[in-house]
Amino acid sequence: MISGGLLRWTATVTRPASGVDALGMRKGTFANVGTMRCDMRDQSANEQEYADGVSVLKQYEVRVRWPNIARLSVTPVDRLTVRGKTLRINHIRNLDEDDRVAVIECTEVT
């Protein structure tokens, strides 16, 4: 179980719009789904080529209670906003398969 004292931050879950534009592409807007308490840990940062230049990719580990993941139906398509950082979800892991703690591996592109 994750200690309540570690859940210092509030994560906002945003989901991409389900509508498509005239070309059949998904719209670039995101809608808020809900919030949950979390613990965020900085894992690593590295520079790499991204789009038309060099960017810093920061890796984070976000821990939340599993019932919150189930309640909000969080998937890797969603985004998390924690402490002003918008994080892309790479992977969601059910720690020890206990349905108690979810470990979310995320990336922030700055």
Range of the domain at 33: 4-19+27-109
Could you give the number of structural domains in the chain?
1
Nearest CA to 6 out of 32, 30, 36, 40 is that of 40
Provide the token pair at 30.
């995101």
Domain harbouring 60, CATH code: 2.40.10
How far apart are the C-alpha atoms of 91 and 32, rounded to whole Å?
A: 20
Question: pLDDT tens-digit profile of 1-28?
Answer: 667 678 999 999 999 887 777 787 777 7
- DSSP-derived letter for residue 1 is -
| Range 55-81 burial, b when 16+ CB lie within 10 A, else e | eeebbbebbbbbebbeebebeeebbbb
Give the pLDDT of residue 4: 66
What is the pLDDT confidence band of residue 64, given thresholds at 50, 70 and 90?
Answer: very high
